[in-house]
Amino acid sequence: MKRSLLAISLIMTLGLSASLSFAQSRAGTSAAPELTIPVGARYVAMQGSPVAFVSGVDAIYWNPAGLDESSYSASALFSYRKYIADMGVNYLAIGAKVGFGSLGLTFRSFNIGTINVTTETQPDGNGEQISPTFFVGGLTYSKVLTDRISVGASINIISESFGRVSSSGISFDAGVQYQDLIGVKGLALGVAVKNIGTAMQYGGSGLWVQANDPNTLRGLTYYKVEAATFELPSTIDIGVGYKRSLDDDNALQFSAAFENNNFAIDQYRGGVEYSFMNTLFVRAGYMYSTDPSGTKSIFQNYTIGAGVDLAKISGLGISFDYAYVPVQYFSANHLFDLHLNF
């Protein structure tokens, strides 16, 4: 069974990598790009590289297979990311162990602010404002199958609206984790396929315009602008990692991952986490991505972060995490997390 699941994950990897090989020519043209905005300070600080190790409610975004790997019976994560151009990302994840595995619920909303409404005749604005609403809700199931293998899957409902137009869609994520790879304790492999789903198309009264058809005598008439459909930004992440305890108080975790995105530049990521008494944490990550033309991601280079788990200090199941993400052309991103564990 272990070999079969590992073989399936490798087949998924090779097949999807081939189908996504032309991604770089379509950057910036996908539907629901908010699906690819990373959430959760702990793993963002390591550039999302621990695909093989991520566990608990943090795993729902990175690799749903890790949800059931949590050492707690229930957890909640409240996260905020100060994103680019004064936008904010709010994220709530709740996970709990049930008799047949673990279930998780997630909610993501994007605070974009207000935008002035412009028209063909009033390009500087007509005095009206709109507030775009982007929301993603998800349900996740994860199960540890053996002492080495865990699997998981998520379904996400996507809703976008601004002004008098809106769009919706459904996406699916799936992942597998394999611990103690090739018999080496602490060595792990993880594969996650994300954002596989329906194409999205905008509709609504905002797409009806008044115009004259020169081929008829109807005069000024309402016509519907048919919006194009766009595919979701599907990705596949392949990661390996290694954990090592230096002594009873100190430990290190190393991880590396490759991400192939059907609408973006491929990414190579690495990260490290140092922990002291499983209470204090220092993290760092590095991401490299570029295409043959020399175009690079604005989220290039390093990330850093830190965290503290108050369980041993105060007996409370509370932890805090922070991540710093430098950005070209915009202000740096800051992520703040609060975990409640039971």
Looking at residue 314, what is its pLDDT? 79
10 has pLDDT over 70: no
136 has pLDDT over 60: yes
Range with lowest mean pLDDT among 32-41, 73-82, 192-201, 311-320: 311-320
- pLDDT tens string 172-225: 999 999 999 999 999 999 999 999 998 999 999 888 888 887 787 777 888 888
Cβ–Cβ < 8 Å for 221, 212: yes
169 has pLDDT over 60: yes
Backbone angles phi, psi at 36, to 5 degrees: -95, 5
Looking at residue 163, what is its pLDDT? 84
20 has pLDDT over 50: no
195 or 27, which is more confident: 195
Fold of 2-108+135-159+172-193+234-341: Porin (2.40.160)
- pLDDT tens string 31-57: 898 999 999 999 999 999 999 999 999
pLDDT-derived band at 4, boundaries 50, 70, 90: very low
Q: How far apart, in Å, are the Cα atoms of 50 and each of 59, 129, 231, 241, 285? A: 10, 42, 27, 6, 10
Looking at residue 289, what is its pLDDT? 80
Q: In angstroms, rounded to a whole number, what is the distance separating the alpha carbons of residues 40 and 58?
A: 6
Domains of the chain, residue spans: 2-108+135-159+172-193+234-341
Cβ–Cβ < 8 Å for 182, 188: no
Q: Which amino acid is at 86?
A: D
Query: E strands of the chain, at which residues?
Result: 74-82, 88-98, 101-111, 115-116, 129-130, 133-144, 149-162, 165-179, 187-197, 200-201, 208-212, 220-224, 229-230, 235-245, 250-261, 267-276, 280-288, 301-309, 318-325, 333-341
Looking at residue 16, what is its pLDDT? 44
Q: In angstroms, rounded to a whole number, what is the distance separating the alpha carbons of residues 235 and 13?
A: 10
- pLDDT tens string 209-268: 888 877 877 778 888 888 999 999 999 999 999 999 999 999 999 999 999 988 878 889
Q: What is the DSSP string of 199-256?
A: -EE-BSGGGEEEEE-TTSS--EEEEE--PPEE----EEEEEEEEEEE-SSSEEEEEEE
225-248 as b/e: b if 16+ CB within 10 A: eeeeebbbbbbbbbbbbbbeeeee
pLDDT-derived band at 60, boundaries 50, 70, 90: very high
Looking at residue 21, what is its pLDDT? 44
